[in-house]
Every structure is written in C-alpha cells, then in structure tokens.
C-alpha cells in the first residue's frame, strides 16, 4: 500500500512532500493554478493573490499554503474564478496597462493570466495614475506604469544575483518599486542585463532597451498557447534569450 | 487665392446652419454655414470637433515604441503612420539603407493598406452618392442601398478591402495595428505559403479594380460637366515622386506643381520639409493650415492625395494604371486636373496600380529572405514621410540620449488638404446653396465635396497646446454676455 501523501484538487489526487505548498505540488502534478508574483524557483511571496483557491470554505493564496493530507482544494469553481477576475481587474486599473502599445503584449503573464481567467473588461474605473519611466540605465528600462509590485525582481536580485538592486517602498496605494542607488535611478545601481532579475519580470515593467516589437505577432509566447500550457520555465528562457540580443551601437 | 466666404462680417446678423456630424467620413467634424439676406451664403467653414493630443502624449516614450504607438492615431490607415514613424526611427537608429527584404515587406504592407483604404472609400463611403445621385433619398443613399440595388458591387468592395487587409495581416501580424515595421527594418519576412495565399486572388482583384474604375468613368461621363465643375477649385499640388519622376507611395522626394503646371519645387529631400512647408493657425479651427513657404499663406496652400499624386508624377510603372493615367491627364489639356470629383477617378487609378504592384511584388524572391534589420549609431532625430492613401504624411521626432522622445511633430494628410477642403465647400455653397432654402439634399452637396478628399478627421486632430479657442457666454435671450479668447500664444483675453 502506497504511503504517498495526497490532497484533492478539483477532485484529483495530488501527491505532495512535506514542506510543499499547494502551488508547488499542483504545478509538479501538471495542474495549473494561475499566479503572477510566484515563480517555482524562488521563495513564495503571496502578494498578488491571483492564485487564490478555496480550502474548507476559506479562500486563500495557494502559493503560501502548506499542503496537508486530506485537503480538498477548489481551483475552478465559479466563485474562485470570479475572485481571480476581480483581483486581475484591480491590477489592471491600478496601473496604466495599455496593452495594444506595450512591447510585452503577447509575452506578458498578466495579460495571459487575464485571458486564462476569462477577464473581458477592466470593470472598475481606471485610476490613471501619473507614473513615469526610468530610462537612466544604458541597457534596461523601467516602466512604473506596468509594475504590479509582485516583488519577483526584489527576491531574485537579492537571493540569486546577490545584489539587492530593488526594494518595495511606501504603503498601500503609495507602494512603489525603488532602486538602491544614491540618486534613486536604476542607471546608478549595479543592475546588469545578465542578472537573473533582468528576465524575471512577469509584465512589461523591466525590459531591455531598443528591442521593441522584434518578435512578430504569431511568434509570441502566448499567441497560440494559453499560459497554463506554456509554463514558467519556457517564459523565463524566452525572456533571457531576448536579453542576449543587441540594440543599436551606441 | 482664398475664398471671401471664409469669414463674414457681422456673423451675428445671419442665420447659422450646421451640418453635424459629417457622415461617411472618418472621424468627427462639422460644417457651419452662415446665410444672410436673400439666403445668400456669406460664410462656410469646415471644423474638426475632436481632439486627440498625440504629439503631446508620445513625449516621454521610448523611440522604439513609435511605429506601434503612433499608428493608434487612426483605425483606417494605421499602416501609414506605422511606416512614417518606422522611417523616422530608421534614421534614429542610423540604419541608412534597409535590407531589400525589409524595404519590400514594408512596400507590400503599404500597398495592401492603400488597397483597403481606397476600396473602403469608394465602395462603402462614396458609391451611394455616385450611384444614386447626390440628392437621392437619404434613407436609400447609403451602403445598405448599394447592397440592395448593386449587390455585386458591394461584394467586390468588401472582398477587395479584405484582400488589402490580408496583405497587411501577413506582413504586419494583424489586419489593424500590427507590429511589422521596427526601427531599422521589419520583424518578419514572408513564407512561401503566405505568398501563395495572397497570390490566389490577385488576378480577380486586378479585374475588380479595373471594373470599379470603368464604373466611375461611366458615372462621370453621364453628367460630365456637372461632375467636372462640382466643387472645383484651382490649387497647387504636392506629392512624393520617385527619383525618375515615377508615381511613388513609399519613398521619394517631394514635388509641388502650380496651377499652371509649373514646378514649384522638385525632388526635395523630405528631411528638409520644414524649409518648404509652414503651418498657419486660424482662430476658428483646431486643424492647422499648411502652405508652401515660398508662396505665402494666401497663395501657397495646396492639395495632396490621389489627385495630386496622379497630376504630379511623370508616369506610373504599372501598365494598366499608366494607360489610365494618360487618359486622365488628357482631361487637363496639359495642365493639372483640378476637378474635386476627379479625386475619385485618381483614387481608383491608384487602386488599380496597387493591385498590379502587389502582383509584381509577390513574385520577388527577396520577400522570403531573412535579412530583416539594420542598425547603426543612435541619432538625435528622425523624419519619416510616406504617401498615405489620403496624401503626404510627415512624422518628425527628436529624442534625448536615453532614447526618449522629447519632441514630435506630425503633419497628416488631411491637414494638408485643410484649406482646399474649405475652399471646395465654399465653392459648392456658392454653386448650389446660395439663395436657396436649405434641405438635406443640398447640404449633402457640401458633404459630397468633403468626401471627395476622403478626409480622416481623427488623424487631423493630433495637435495639442497651441489651439486658439473662443468661449462665449450667452444668456437665455441669446444675448452675448461674455467672451474669453485663448490666443495661439496661450494668452487668454476677455474680448467683450
Ligand atoms: S505589462 Fe502586460 S498587462 Fe501591462 S500593458 Fe504590458 S502587456 Fe498589458
């Protein structure tokens, strides 16, 4: 008789090891739970809440929820889907996401998760915050408009690149990504396009300069496959690959 | 050369008639007419009533976004903005001459664009006036009437437009607002399957373009005098031509011809367009009024678009179109053809040219090659000019050392035709409305004259910041109580 520990996700048995989160075990078993601030290679953050699932009547983020035996996890009821759509809608209206003109469009996780969740409109009134661009770095750009404060760049820069280029500062609606340099400019940090953090942004907030729309429509990451099929690893590989392309000679 | 109907004295004494919204044109605009004693028309003006602000909000964006961002100015001919911006960014990235593949893919995209735009204009927007007459019942004088009475023509219009859109989709990724042109080149070439797909319908489309032209010529010849004098004005003509004087839509020098056919300037490098063209501002319009600097504001206004291009070029490279061009030019007896309704004729010669040119280009082996992009040293500014379906389109950008746009100026095709459209409606007002009790059919005559230019009023309203404005406060009895004026300088004055 098997001693494997399992929990149920939408009725399917999902095996897990001690210490696994529901997200870890589900992704390993090939079950997609939508997520934005989470990357399986890095410690969970639990900030975007898009991975919300229902467990014993409670709605909670699956990326920080320890798996335990006998759990009955709801990943696809209309209630859960509606909550995810609402969270996504809030992310869209809180920034300025003009996808039609965004370089990341087609390769963007926020957009892809929104498609996956069936979000058809922003629903809420747009905040239209006044935000700028940091173009001070010779090779990389930062677009405040599109940052969803997922904290992935913060974690990856710190734990992988051992650099601490990024931090999230402020509280509530005033929270924003800041750069660790005397001027506060990205160009004055030791950030480099070869850093792991340069390719981890799920949206079009951290992008290489000059490339623009080099990937034709039809060849972008999520043009033909939904995010549930593409997976995190492919997304990271493609983003890294883009960073190895050059721009115009300076 | 400008008409006295631009500004009437004592407008408050006259009856004001407004045609709003203008129908079967792209964007929002209105015409105001002032009728004085004996119903004489004393003032006629075309106004643009929407406001976009593109030049302002692209400031602060990185230059590589421009081709995709700026094309959002328009849903009818976004490819023209896409390509004009791409050409400007080619200069910015120091690309010099692009690869043959990149140039040809862009040319193909542009030809597809012109086909879809011209087909839309002739079949959907203008054929109701031309097929049924300007004063046909308004309930019937529309595309639904065309579908009912001339289903084959309506079908050809839809399918020709679709063909143009498919050319765009294959080259730019999407039928509207694609991403094909990037600074220094394109992001894709074509596959053999894509080429074969487009070649499938090409002979049929050339035939339909010929058919549309024949149809138009028959309509015009039935009431030749009426059509040739309708809204006709005398103007200079400006367009792009190839180095050898051939008809050109994508890249060449600027040529301007006077009413008597004399050359005003020729083969001007468009990068220096500012030395040849200026824009004036009038306090009653959001749209600027460009003019040829050497001739001054009064004499220097000009027309652009199909009429100007066919009048200005020495020949067309495509055989069927060239035969048609020669027949067309004979109308002018050696002088540029000035009839406003001849815009339709010229437009359909271009439609034929584009279908022929697409057929030729689809046989070019460079379309499948993989050399897509060239990059050089970053420059501080760039200018891109193309012949959009509606006429010459200018984009100019200046960037800072980080690659961020500091300044943008656009002169869009419809703006070039601003004075000419105003002159044409004044002529029509004089010809048909003067002294008459106005009704829908007569007012449609004004719209017919505007439609001939195929204006894109959305594109024409990109400017921001320098618009003069007038604010009137009127009491319940209609008495003017207060008036504020914002001058071109930005100064606000009370003028009562
Ligand atoms: S970052 Fe993503 S969601 Fe935001 S504008 Fe770009 S494509 Fe759209």
User: How far does the CA of residue A104 sit from the closest CA of chain B (Å)?
Assistant: 11
Q: Which ligand 1 atom is the nearest neighbour of the CA of A204? A: 1
Fold of A9-80: Ubiquitin-like (UB roll) (3.10.20)
The finding on whether A147 has its CB within 6 A of some atom of ligand 1 is no
For residue A229, the SS3 value is: helix
- Ligand 1 centre to CA of A119 (Å) is 14
Higher pLDDT, B57 or B407: B407
Q: Which of A146-150, B87-91, B419-423 has the lowest mean pLDDT?
A: B419-423
Per-residue pLDDT, B52: 63
pLDDT-above-90 percentage for chain A: 84
What is the rounded average pLDDT of the residues B67-74? 88
Q: Which of A39-48, A54-63, B281-290, B349-358 has the lowest mean pLDDT?
A: B281-290
- pTM of the full structure: 0.89
Per-residue pLDDT, B464: 39
User: How far does the CA of residue B156 sit from the closest CA of chain A (Å)?
Assistant: 29
For residue B45, the SS3 value is: strand
CA angle B444, B448, B454 (to 5 degrees): 140
Strands (E), B160-214: 181-182, 185-186
What is the rounded average pLDDT of the residues B141-168? 91
Per-residue pLDDT, B142: 84
User: Which residue in B43, B136, B20 sits closest to B450, CA to CA?
Assistant: B20
Structure tokens at B210: 């010929």
Q: Which of A213-217, B325-329, B413-417 has the lowest mean pLDDT?
A: B413-417
Cβ(B404)–Cβ(B60) below 8 Å: yes
- Between chains, do B378 and A248 touch, taking CB under 8 Å as contact? yes
Q: Which of B139-148, B216-225, B393-402 has the lowest mean pLDDT?
A: B139-148
Per-residue pLDDT, B408: 92
How far is it, in rounded angstroms, from Cα B179 to Cα B233?
Answer: 40
Domains of chain B: 11-52+419-494 (no CATH), 54-415 (1.10.645.10)
Question: Half-sphere exposure (CA, 13 Å, Cβ side) for A172?
Answer: 1
How far is it, in rounded angstroms, from Cα A27 to Cα A111?
Answer: 20
The finding on whether A56 has its CB within 6 A of some atom of ligand 1 is no
Structure tokens at B145: 């009437």
User: In DSSP terms, which residues pair with B278 in a beta bridge?
Assistant: B291
What is the rounded average pLDDT of the residues B372-392? 95
Pick the CATH number of A99-245 from 3.40.50.1970, 3.30.70.20, 3.40.50.1000, 3.40.1190.20: 3.30.70.20
DSSP A212: -
Higher pLDDT, B108 or B479: B108
pLDDT-above-70 percentage for chain B: 90
Q: Which of A29-38, A224-233, B205-214 has the lowest mean pLDDT?
A: A224-233
Cβ(B213)–Cβ(B123) below 8 Å: no
The finding on whether A204 has its CB within 6 A of some atom of ligand 1 is yes
- Domain range summary for chain A, segments of one domain joined by +: 9-80, 99-245
Question: Half-sphere exposure (CA, 13 Å, Cβ side) for B458?
Answer: 13
Q: Which of A107-116, B377-386, B393-402, B473-482 has the lowest mean pLDDT?
A: B473-482
What is the rounded average pLDDT of the residues A101-130? 94
For residue A246, the SS3 value is: coil
User: How far does the CA of residue A88 sit from the closest CA of chain B (Å)?
Assistant: 24
What is the rounded average pLDDT of the residues A63-69? 96
Higher pLDDT, A184 or A173: A184
Chain B: residue whose CA lies nearest to A137:
B402
What is the rounded average pLDDT of the residues B294-318? 97
Structure confidence by residue, pLDDT tens digits, A151-174: 999 999 999 999 999 999 999 888
Q: With a cut of 60, say whether residue A247 has pLDDT above it.
A: no
Cβ(B343)–Cβ(B351) below 8 Å: no
Structure confidence by residue, pLDDT tens digits, B388-414: 999 999 999 999 999 999 999 888 888
User: How far does the CA of residue A226 sit from the closest CA of chain B (Å)?
Assistant: 19
Residue B64 is nearest to which of A212, A218, A246, comparing CB atoms?
A212
Residues in chain A whose Cβ is within 8 Å of chain B: 100-101, 103, 132-133, 135-136, 141, 209-219, 246-250
- Between chains, do A217 and B172 touch, taking CB under 8 Å as contact? yes
Chain A: residue whose CA lies nearest to B66:
A101
What is the rounded average pLDDT of the residues B87-105? 97
Residue A56 burial by CB count (10 A; 0-12/13-18/19+): exposed, middle or buried? Answer: exposed
Cβ(B377)–Cβ(A248) below 8 Å: yes
Chain B: residue whose CA lies nearest to A214:
B187
Residue B375 is nearest to which of A213, A219, A249, comparing CB atoms?
A249
How far is it, in rounded angstroms, from Cα B5 to Cα B18?
Answer: 15
What is the rounded average pLDDT of the residues B115-128? 91
- Ligand 1 centre to CA of A223 (Å) is 14
How many Cβ pairs within 8 Å bridge chains A and B? 72
Q: With a cut of 50, say whether residue B68 has pLDDT above it.
A: yes
Confidence of residue B288 (pLDDT cuts 50, 70, 90): confident
Confidence of residue B492 (pLDDT cuts 50, 70, 90): low
Long-range contacts of B356-360 (CB under 8 A, 24+ apart): B356/B206, B356/B318, B356/B319, B356/B320, B356/B321, B357/B111, B357/B317, B357/B318, B358/B108, B358/B111, B358/B112, B358/B115, B358/B167, B358/B198, B358/B202, B359/B199, B359/B202, B359/B203, B359/B206, B360/B318
The finding on whether A75 has its CB within 6 A of some atom of ligand 1 is no
Per-residue pLDDT, B76: 77
Q: Which ligand 1 atom is the nearest neighbour of the CA of A104? A: 7
User: Which residue in B386, B411, B384 sits closest to B288, CA to CA?
Assistant: B411
Structural element, H or E, at residue A84: helix A78-94
| Average pLDDT for chain A | 92
How far is it, in rounded angstroms, from Cα B174 to Cα B180?
Answer: 9
Q: With a cut of 80, say whether residue A2 has pLDDT above it.
A: no
Per-residue pLDDT, B5: 82
Q: With a cut of 70, say whether residue A1 has pLDDT above it.
A: no
Higher pLDDT, B371 or B288: B371
- Between chains, do B402 and A248 touch, taking CB under 8 Å as contact? no
Higher pLDDT, B466 or A100: A100
How far is it, in rounded angstroms, from Cα A62 to Cα A33?
Answer: 8
Structure tokens at B190: 């074509």
Other beta carbons within 10 Å of B165: 20
The tokens 């601030």 sit on which residue? A37
CA angle B372, B268, B278 (to 5 degrees): 110
For residue B432, the SS3 value is: helix
Distances (CA, A) of B299 to B174, B290, B449: 42, 11, 21
Instruction: State the sign of the Cα–Cα–Cα–Cα dihedral B180, B181, B183, B189.
Output: positive
The finding on whether A36 has its CB within 6 A of some atom of ligand 1 is no
ipTM for the assembly: 0.88
Chain B: residue whose CA lies nearest to A141:
B62
How far is it, in rounded angstroms, from Cα B23 to Cα A78?
Answer: 45
Per-residue pLDDT, A230: 92
The finding on whether A98 has its CB within 6 A of some atom of ligand 1 is yes
| Average pLDDT for chain B | 88
Q: Which ligand 1 atom is the nearest neighbour of the CA of A143? A: 1
Structure confidence by residue, pLDDT tens digits, B435-491: 777 777 888 888 888 889 988 765 555 443 343 445 455 555 556 655 655 454 545
Q: Which residues contact A233 (CB under 8 A, 6 or more apart)?
A: none
């Amino acid at each position: 008789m098997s001693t494997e520990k399992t929990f149920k996700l939408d009725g399917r048995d999902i095996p897990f090891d001690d210490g696994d989160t529901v997200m870890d075990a589900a992704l390993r078993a090939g079950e997609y739970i939508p997520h934005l601030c989470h990357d399986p290679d890095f410690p969970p953050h639990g900030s975007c809440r898009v991975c919300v699932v229902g467990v014993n009547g409670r709605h909670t983020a699956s990326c920080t929820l320890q798996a335990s035996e006998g759990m009955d996890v709801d990943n696809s009821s209309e209630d859960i889907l509606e909550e995810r759509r609402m969270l996504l809608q809030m992310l869209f209206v809180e920034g300025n996401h003009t996808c039609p003109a965004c370089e990341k469009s087609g390769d963007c996780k926020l957009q892809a998760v929104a498609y996956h969740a069936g979000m058809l409109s922003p629903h809420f009134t747009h905040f239209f915050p006044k935000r700028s661009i940091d173009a001070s770095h010779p090779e990389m750009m930062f677009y405040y408009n599109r940052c969803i404060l997922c904290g992935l760049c913060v974690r990856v820069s710190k734990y992988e690149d051992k650099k601490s280029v990024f931090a999230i500062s402020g509280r509530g609606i005033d929270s924003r990504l800041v750069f660790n340099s005397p001027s506060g400019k990205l160009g004055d940090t030791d950030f480099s396009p070869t850093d792991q953090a340069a390719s981890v942004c799920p949206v079009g907030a951290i992008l290489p300069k000059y490339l623009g729309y080099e990937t034709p429509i039809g060849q972008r990451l999520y043009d033909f496959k939904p995010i549930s099929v593409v997976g995190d690893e492919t997304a990271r590989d493609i983003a890294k690959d883009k960073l190895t392309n050059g721009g115009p000679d300076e | 050369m400008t008409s006295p109907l631009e500004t009437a004295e004592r407008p408050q004494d006259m009856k004001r008639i407004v045609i709003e919204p203008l129908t079967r044109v792209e964007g929002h605009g209105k015409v105001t007419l002032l009728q004085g004693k004996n119903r004489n028309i004393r003032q006629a003006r075309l106004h643009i009533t929407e406001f976009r602000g593109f030049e302002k909000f692209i400031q602060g964006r990185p230059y590589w976004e421009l081709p995709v961002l700026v094309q959002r100015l328009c849903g009818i001919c976004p490819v023209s903005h896409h390509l004009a911006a791409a050409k400007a960014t080619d200069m910015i990235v120091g690309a010099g001459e692009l690869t043959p593949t990149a140039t040809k893919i862009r040319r193909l995209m542009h030809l597809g664009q012109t086909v879809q735009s011209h087909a839309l204009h002739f079949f959907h927007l203008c054929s109701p006036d031309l097929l049924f007459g300007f004063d046909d019942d308004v309930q019937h004088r529309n595309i639904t009437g065309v579908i009912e009475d001339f289903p084959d023509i309506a079908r050809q219009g839809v399918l020709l437009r679709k063909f143009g859109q498919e050319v765009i989709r294959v080259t730019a990724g999407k039928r509207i607002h694609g991403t094909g042109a990037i600074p220094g080149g394109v992001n894709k070439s074509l596959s053999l399957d894509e080429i074969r797909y487009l070649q499938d319908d090409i002979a049929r489309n050339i035939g339909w373009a010929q058919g549309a032209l024949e149809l138009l010529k028959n309509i015009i010849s039935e009431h030749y005098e009426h059509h040739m004098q309708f809204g006709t004005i005398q103007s200079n003509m400006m367009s792009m031509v190839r180095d050898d004087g051939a008809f050109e839509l994508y890249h060449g020098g600027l040529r301007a011809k006077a009413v008597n056919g004399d050359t005003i300037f020729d083969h001007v490098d468009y990068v220096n367009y500012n030395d040849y063209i200026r824009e004036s501002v009038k306090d009653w319009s959001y749209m600027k009024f460009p003019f040829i600097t050497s001739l001054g504001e009064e004499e220097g206004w000009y027309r652009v678009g199909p009429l100007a291009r066919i009048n200005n070029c020495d020949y067309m490279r495509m055989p069927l179109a060239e035969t048609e061009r020669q027949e067309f030019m004979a109308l002018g007896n050696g002088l540029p053809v000035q009839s406003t309704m001849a815009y339709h004729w010229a437009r359909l010669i271009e439609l034929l040219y584009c279908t022929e040119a697409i057929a030729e280009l689809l046989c070019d082996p460079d379309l499948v090659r993989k050399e897509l992009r060239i990059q050089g040293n970053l420059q501080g500014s760039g200018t891109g000019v193309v012949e959009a379906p509606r006429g010459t389109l200018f984009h100019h950008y200046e960037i800072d050392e980080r690659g961020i746009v500091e300044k943008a100026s656009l002169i869009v095709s419809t703006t070039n035709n601003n004075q000419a459209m105003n002159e044409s409606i004044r002529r029509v007002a004089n010809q048909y409305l003067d002294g008459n009790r106005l009704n829908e059919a007569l007012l449609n005559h004004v719209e017919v004259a505007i439609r001939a230019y195929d204006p894109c009023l959305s594109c024409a309203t990109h400017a921001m910041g320098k618009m003069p404005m007038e604010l009137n406060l009127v009491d319940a009895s209609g008495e003017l109580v207060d008036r504020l004026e914002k001058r071109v300088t930005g100064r606000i004055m009370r003028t009562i």
